[in-house]
Structures are given as structure tokens and as C-alpha cells.
């Protein structure tokens, strides 16, 4: 069996081409992909060649961990049937091509236990579930605090703000230095950090990924306040100890989402507490993948680029 897939041959060289699929096992399902999202954070590191050496890293590779499709062949133990719509957080089902993260293809073979059933009404918005689960993990994981300040109004910052409100927290303040990204807030304020004089934030969540901000954020904390690092930082982080010492500051790192996070997000969406409207800003046919990836990485007005695979499945 074969599939059309986005393949990063090497840094900054991307193509859409046919690749061979591995054979499906007894606990696997086959998914015909409808949409896949492009991550402007993690996948940018793959594109530039600056991704740290995680297991499975190397070229050529199939990127993508934000995929929605329909089941074309289920397995007896899964409870999934042909036509069911699912979210697929990546796959590793290719011959001679690495699957990091493996979701940007027209057809995937994945363990049934890995996918998440979706309501059909969600359509392309299902690609947002990985980022929404990541945002939920950052502010609702074990020991986490709902933030009163969020740094960055990209798609992760917007999801953190929406989830904070959905969980019953007060409307957070959001910092954004790019004027073009200050629009689109729903129930909270987005401001230029230069205009903010507050110095007693209890919980700050950084979704910017900017490594030089840590001292500035610690300086805005209340006593025993917390900074959560929810971005991905490719450069070393450091901070001056005395200001952190005087505040007894806490620094927490939010890593990948867990199954409980995506289940929580599914419930928030199903009950209407979390609205995903307005977050997908760009769409392209899968054949336009090279240009779509460049747009996702370089256009600040692009919050989320989605590739449409429906005519290739």
C-alpha cells in the first residue's frame, strides 16, 4: 500500500511524493486523511534543521501531528468503524522514510488506541486538538495554575486564554508585541507589554518561545508567583538569581499533552465551553504544501495553516 506524503528530504527542501506504507497489524486501523495542520513552532525546527536530536529524528521524514481523517478499515477490538472521523496525533507507518511526526499524508496506518474519535461536525477544526491539549496541559496539569498573564497571542496563546476562561478562571491579560496579532481576542484583553505597569502577577504562562524573556517575566511576579514555560526553546535559558530569590519564584515546564488533556478538551468542545472558531486562518490543497509551509513559517498573520487531502485519499 502507498500514500502521498509531505516529505522533508533535508532542511528547507520539501516535496509531496508517493511513499510506501508498512503492513497493518491486527490492532491497527487505516485512516484516509482529510486535513492536516502545519505547526509553525515544532515543524519550523524540522524545516530549518535546528530540531534537537530526539529519537526518530533524521531525514528524509514525514512531518505532522495534527491530522483528521476517516476510518477506511477498523479493527475488531477498537470499536471504530468505517466512516468514523478521528484525530491522529502522528504516525510511524512508512518504509524508508522516518515518521517524525508522520501525520502529513493522504493515508495512514496507526494503532487504534492512538487515535481520538471526533464529532463529524468539527470538520477541519479537529486539527486543533493537539494544540488545544497542549494548552490545557500547560495550565491544568498536575500542580498548574490558571494564568493571569499569557505571553504571546499566537494560536497557542489564544487557546490558553480560551481554555483558562472555559475552566472558570478570570479573563487573563495577554501580551503581544506584534500589532497585527492583537486582534481576535474573545473575552480578554491583548496589550503591548510596554504599556503594562503591573508587577504582581500570580501565574504567567509564556507561549512565545522567546528565550530572553525569563528575567522580564520573573520581574512581573508576585511573591511565590510562577512562570510556566509553554513554548519550545531552542536556545539555552538563563535568569538572574536575586530577583527570583526575593520573590521565591517558581519556574515550571509544560511538556507534551497526555491522553487526559485531549479528553478534557474534547469535553470542553462538546459542552460548548471551548470555541475553536477563528483559529484556522489559511487553507491550501495538499499539492501546494511547499508554499503552504513557507507561509505558515513566515507570515505573522497565519495562525494555523491547514492542508486539504480529501481529493487524494
Q: In this structure, are 164 and 118 located in the same domain?
A: no
Is 134 domain-assigned?
no
Output the pLDDT for position 112.
95
Is 267 domain-assigned?
no
Residues belonging to the chain: 313
Output the pLDDT for position 57.
79
Is 179 domain-assigned?
yes
For residue 249, give the C-alpha cell: 519564584
The string of pLDDT tens digits covering residues 187-210 is: 999 999 999 999 999 999 999 989
Q: In this structure, are 47 and 104 located in the same domain?
A: yes
Which band of pLDDT confidence, cut at 50, 70 and 90, is reported for residue 313? low
Q: In this structure, are 29 and 121 located in the same domain?
A: yes
Which of 41-55, 91-105, 106-120, 255-269 is predicted with the least confidence, judged by mean pLDDT? Answer: 41-55
Output the pLDDT for position 234.
81
* Tally of domains in the chain: 2
More confident residue, 33 or 232: 33
Is 264 domain-assigned?
no
Is 261 domain-assigned?
no
Q: In this structure, are 16 and 76 located in the same domain?
A: yes
DSSP classification of residue 268: H
Specify burial of residue 49 (Cβ count, 10 A radius: 0-12, 13-18, 19+): exposed
Q: Is it the case that residue 142 has pLDDT exceeding 90?
A: no
The string of pLDDT tens digits covering residues 88-130 is: 999 999 998 987 789 999 999 999 999 999 999 999 999 999 9
Of 181, 202, 123, 184, residue with least CA distance to 193: 181
pLDDT average, residue stretch 273-284 = 97
Q: In this structure, are 67 and 183 located in the same domain?
A: no
40, 170, 124, 134: CA torsion to nearest 10: 50
Is 92 domain-assigned?
yes
Compute CA distances 282 → 66, 170, 247, whole Å.
15, 30, 42
Helices 155-166 and 129-140: crossing angle in degrees, nearest 10, is 60
Q: What is the CATH number of the domain that holds 170?
A: 3.40.50.720
Is 135 domain-assigned?
no
Q: Hey, how many other C-beta atoms are within 10 angstroms of the C-beta on 165? A: 18
Q: In this structure, are 120 and 157 located in the same domain?
A: no
Q: In this structure, are 103 and 9 located in the same domain?
A: yes
Q: In this structure, are 11 and 115 located in the same domain?
A: yes
Q: In this structure, are 166 and 248 located in the same domain?
A: yes
In sequence order, the 6+-apart residues with CB closer than 8 A to the CB of 105 are 3, 4, 5, 6, 19, 33, 36, 62, 64, 91, 94, 309
Output the pLDDT for position 52.
77
Q: In this structure, are 89 and 62 located in the same domain?
A: yes
- State percent of the chain over pLDDT 90: 83
Q: What is the pTM of this model?
A: 0.94
Q: Which domain holds residue 236?
A: 145-253
Is 35 domain-assigned?
yes
If phi over 0 gives left and psi between -120 and 50 gives alpha, with beta otherwise, what is residue 70?
A: beta
- Report the sign of the C-alpha dihedral through residues 20, 312, 112, 267, in that order: positive
Q: What is the CATH number of the domain that holds 10?
A: 3.90.180.10
Q: Answer for the pair 67, 87: CB distance below 8 angstroms, yes or no.
A: yes
Q: In this structure, are 120 and 13 located in the same domain?
A: yes
Q: In this structure, are 59 and 163 located in the same domain?
A: no
Amino acid at each position: 500500500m502507498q500514500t502521498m506524503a509531505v516529505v522533508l528530504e533535508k532542511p528547507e527542501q520539501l516535496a509531496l511524493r508517493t511513499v510506501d506504507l508498512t503492513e497493518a497489524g491486527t490492532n491497527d486501523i487505516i485512516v484516509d486523511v482529510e486535513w492536516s495542520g502545519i505547526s509553525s513552532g515544532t515543524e519550523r525546527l524540522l524545516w530549518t534543521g535546528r530540531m534537537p536530536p530526539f529519537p526518530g529524528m533524521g531525514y528524509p521524514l514525514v512531518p505532522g501531528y495534527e491530522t483528521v481523517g476517516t476510518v477506511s478499515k477498523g479493527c475488531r477490538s477498537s470499536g471504530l468503524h468505517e466512516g468514523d472521523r478521528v484525530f491522529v496525533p502522528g504516525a510511524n507507518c512508512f518504509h524508508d522514510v522516518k515518521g517524525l511526526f508522520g501525520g502529513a499524508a493522504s493515508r495512514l496506518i496507526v494503532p487504534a488506541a492512538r487515535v481520538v474519535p471526533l464529532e463529524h461536525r468539527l470538520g477541519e477544526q479537529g486539527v486543533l486538538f493537539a494544540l488545544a491539549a497542549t494548552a490545557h496541559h500547560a495550565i491544568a496539569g498536575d500542580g498548574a495554575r490558571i494564568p493571569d498573564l499569557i505571553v504571546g497571542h499566537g494560536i497557542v496563546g489564544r487557546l490558553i486564554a480560551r481554555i483558562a476562561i472555559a475552566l472558570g478562571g478570570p479573563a487573563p491579560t495577554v501580551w503581544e508585541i506584534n500589532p497585527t496579532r492583537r486582534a481576535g481576542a474573545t473575552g480578554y484583553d491583548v496589550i503591548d507589554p510596554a504599556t503594562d505597569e503591573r508587577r504582581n502577577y500570580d501565574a504567567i504562562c509564556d507561549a512565545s518561545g522567546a528565550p530572553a524573556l525569563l528575567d522580564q517575566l520573573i520581574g512581573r511576579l508576585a511573591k511565590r508567583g510562577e512562570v510556566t514555560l509553554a513554548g519550545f526553546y531552542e536556545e539555552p535559558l538563563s535568569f538572574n538569581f536575586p530577583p527570583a530569590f526575593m520573590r521565591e519564584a517558581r519556574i515550571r515546564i509544560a511538556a507534551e499533552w497526555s491522553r487526559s488533556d485531549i479528553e478534557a478538551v474534547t469535553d470542553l468542545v462538546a459542552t460548548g465551553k471551548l470555541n475553536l472558531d477563528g483559529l484556522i486562518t489559511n487553507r491550501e490543497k495538499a499539492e501546494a504544501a511547499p508554499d503552504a509551509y513557507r507561509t505558515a513559517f513566515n507570515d505573522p498573520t497565519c495562525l494555523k495553516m491547514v492542508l486539504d487531502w480529501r481529493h487524494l485519499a
